[in-house]
Amino acid sequence: MKLPIRHGLFWDVDVSLLDEKKHQTYIVQQVLNLGTIEEFRLILEYYGFDEVRESLKIAGYLDPKTFSFVVDFFNIDTEEMQCYTKKRLHQPHWI
């Protein structure tokens, strides 16, 4: 991976195997959920606004705060978000 993003964001995979194009949705999802504002800016510059927006629509999971930010910032209808329409099987008890 060539993007200067902390490898700790991708704790569950081998970072050396990540491809920026092939794993775009996963990279965008992890940066939005766990990254800093600078890392968010980096992916916006690298992929572009529209590409990041489309990746977020098909992301598998966004935490509630990130979801709220994404819907507002990218002006996305909640029904377009896959992580909203396909809820997790085992919901945490506090939701």
Task: Answer whether residue 12 is part of any domain.
Answer: no
Predicted pLDDT at 91: 59
Q: Is residue 95 in some structural domain?
A: no
- Structural domain including 25 reads 20-85
Is residue 14 pLDDT above 60, yes or no?
yes
What mean pLDDT do residues 61-72 have? 92
For residue 46, how many other CB atoms are within 10 A of its CB?
17
Rounded-to-integer distance, Cα 22 and Cα 24, Å: 6
What total of structural domains would you count in the chain? 1
Judge whether residue 85 has pLDDT over 90: no
Give the pLDDT mean for 74-82.
90
- Count how many residues are written for the chain: 95
Residue 90 inside a domain? The answer is no
Task: Tell me if 59 is assigned to some domain.
Answer: yes
Is the residue at 72 inside a domain?
A: yes
Is there a domain that residue 40 lies in? yes
pTM for this model (two decimals): 0.83
Q: What local confidence, expressed as pLDDT, does residue 92 receive?
A: 59
DSSP state of 95: -
81 in a structural domain: yes
Q: Which of 1, 2, 3, 47 is nearest to 25 (CA)?
A: 47
Report the distance separating Cα 74 and Cα 50, nearest Å: 9
| pLDDT above 90 for 3 | no
